[in-house]
Amino acid sequence: MSASNLGTPTSPLGDPSFDRIHKALRSTETGDRIANAIGMQIWITDLAGNIVRVNQPWLDSHGFRSMDDVLGRTAHEVFGPVQAAQSIAEGLEVVDTGETSVVVTADENGRKFQTMRMPLTESGELVGVMGITAALEPEIADGATMVTAAEVDPLTGASSVGALHQLVAETLASGEDMTLLLIDLDDFHVVNTAMGRESGDQLLQKAAKRLINVFGSRLYRVGGDAFVVMLPTIQKDQLTVVSDQILQRWRQPLIVDGTEVYGGVSIGLAPITNQASPEEVLQDAEMALRESKSTGRNRATVFQPSQRKQADEELWNQMLIRRAVAEKEFVLHWQPIFNINTGAIVGVESLLRWQPRGGEQTLPAAEFIPFLEHSGLIIPVGLQVIEDACRQQAAWRSMDKIARAIPIHVNVSRRQFWGGTFVESVLTTLQKFSVEPSTFTVEIADFSPGQGYDDFLDDLGRLRKAGVNIAIDDFGHGWSALGQIRGLPVSSMKVARTITDTIEVGADNLVLGAIQTLAEPISNALIIQGVENDEQLSWLRHRGWSFAQGYHLSKPLDQSSTTQLLSNNLAHARAA
């Protein structure tokens, strides 16, 4: 939308503040394209109360043909004396305080109206006042039902969620074309955490004012940092225009406690078509919003029916996974780690698999670990994995054909450290199954700085002090980088398979060479993952690598097959 849609008048009073307001309107992209469509009255005055701009609903309401008829006039020249005095007083209050005001009035027929007045700024300086008036009772305009909030959110001045449900319900009943826009502030929790809740509230207020400047009482706060706007269209091009304008506004920072806060918004759009209830409309918008968040944030996504099918499938899978946790349907497979110079197995990595009840096939971790992480179920499941792994090592120790403590590796999530009891749980489990800490390795892929990082490092240090080995998993991928290893309480590194893939026969590999040099001080430091062919294996042997794992050496095996492999490997070693 463009401010030029309201016209670009010249001031009959010669007041230079008119030009400054026009500039502010262009910078905030406020105009009548949306204002006219949603049927609200919008007007703008300069600091002296002179009318600068109005939209068509305002003109229609007050009986004027064009903006030229009211340009430069004051409230005294437009309204009766009582209404003019009230309007001027409320405008001066906004100028004096710099805060948005909300008042509810009634006409002679008893219809209620909500009027918001908000400060209009240009380059941080107050230059005028914008007013928005909308009916608080249903009224028919151009064939569309125009309903606004009868209540106001006390923190932000946006309309209430209760009124939103009423509007959506009436829209569903009438069959009118409308679209619900769900707007969510990206990374709002960062401000709450870093600057405190009061600053977070202030950010919400600033964000709401920015949206109210465009949508007025059509903006609803639906909880937390989420807002909803109802637009009287389902046309994709019109929705794109509105969404783009919202996103563009967030290219400019919000000022919170004198600090510029840069952020973005993600938007989910749900055209109101064949949904059954307001709750279902909001669910559709939430699915679209989730898509915006997961594909990069600071973007808008229109809901598609396929997303509902996908959400239903996700819900079903989540129910199955929760049952799997309760029924202990998760099992361990094992992938051996070899000394590639001698062929001896020097350890086994436990890999979680899911074998649904009655199913013959196990499902890989990628199909359920993300949900375990998101839901927090990774904590009890992770502890169960550690106990099962320790129990298995104890079982191998008791077998005549093995009769030794096979070093075991267990993948651990950062989230398992939350709560501060993880270290004690690990050490208690090791003691329960008589597992020597030196034969137990915790593999962690995420060493990213962030909230709780110092406590995380302290817990790793306590595990190392107790004799437990700590390995950086997937070193060289994602957050695992060369600079991280210094100062970390780690005893080994597992090089990511993406780096193994860069090996070329007959050529040096600077990355792997740098990793060898960096890890030299760490005993038993380097295990290279993802060895897929004999050429890679020969290359690694030739350049001094000792430990590796990958499908070329052995794929992950179930408990029975792993036991047989260990027995054969040890028997071969003894014979040699």
220-253 pLDDT, tens digit per residue, is 888 788 899 888 888 888 888 888 888 888 888 8
What's the mean pLDDT in 189-204? 78
- Candidates 77, 133, 127, 76; CA nearest to 107 is 133
- Candidates 334, 349, 338, 333; CA nearest to 572 is 338
According to the model, what pLDDT value does residue 18 have? 42
According to the model, what pLDDT value does residue 108 have? 57
Best mean pLDDT range from 12-21, 350-359, 487-496, 545-554? 545-554
493-545 pLDDT, tens digit per residue, is 899 888 898 888 878 888 888 888 777 666 457 899 999 999 999 999 998 89
Q: Which two tokens stand for residue 295?
A: 């594909």
For the chain, give the mean pLDDT.
78
270-314 pLDDT, tens digit per residue, is 888 877 678 888 888 888 888 888 777 788 888 877 766 666 666
According to the model, what pLDDT value does residue 493 have? 87
Dihedral sign computed on CA atoms, order 307, 309, 314, 319: positive
Cα–Cα distance for residue pair 103/553, rounded to 1 Å: 75
Best mean pLDDT range from 256-260, 408-412, 445-449? 408-412
458-474 pLDDT, tens digit per residue, is 999 999 999 999 998 98
What's the mean pLDDT in 376-386? 89
pLDDT band, very low/low/confident/very high, at 316 (cuts 50, 70, 90): low
Best mean pLDDT range from 109-118, 351-360, 425-434? 425-434
Cα–Cα distance for residue pair 386/429, rounded to 1 Å: 8
Q: Is the pLDDT of residue 13 over 70?
A: no
What's the mean pLDDT in 205-212? 86
Among 78-87, 314-323, 345-354, 446-455, name the one with the lowest average pLDDT: 78-87
Q: Is the pLDDT of residue 27 over 50?
A: no
Q: At what angle do helices 422-432 and 453-465 cross, to 10 degrees?
A: 20
According to the model, what pLDDT value does residue 14 have? 34
According to the model, what pLDDT value does residue 141 have? 29
Q: Is the pLDDT of residue 10 over 60?
A: no
320-333 pLDDT, tens digit per residue, is 777 888 888 889 99
Task: Report residue 333: phi and psi, to 5°.
Answer: -110, 165
Domains of the chain: 1-137 (3.30.450.20), 144-303 (3.30.70.270), 315-566 (3.20.20.450)
Say how many C-beta atoms besides its own lie within 10 A of residue 95's C-beta.
17
pTM, two decimals, is: 0.53
Coil vs helix vs strand at 447: coil
39-54 pLDDT, tens digit per residue, is 567 888 887 778 888 8
Residue with token string 């890989």: 364
Amino acid at 94: V
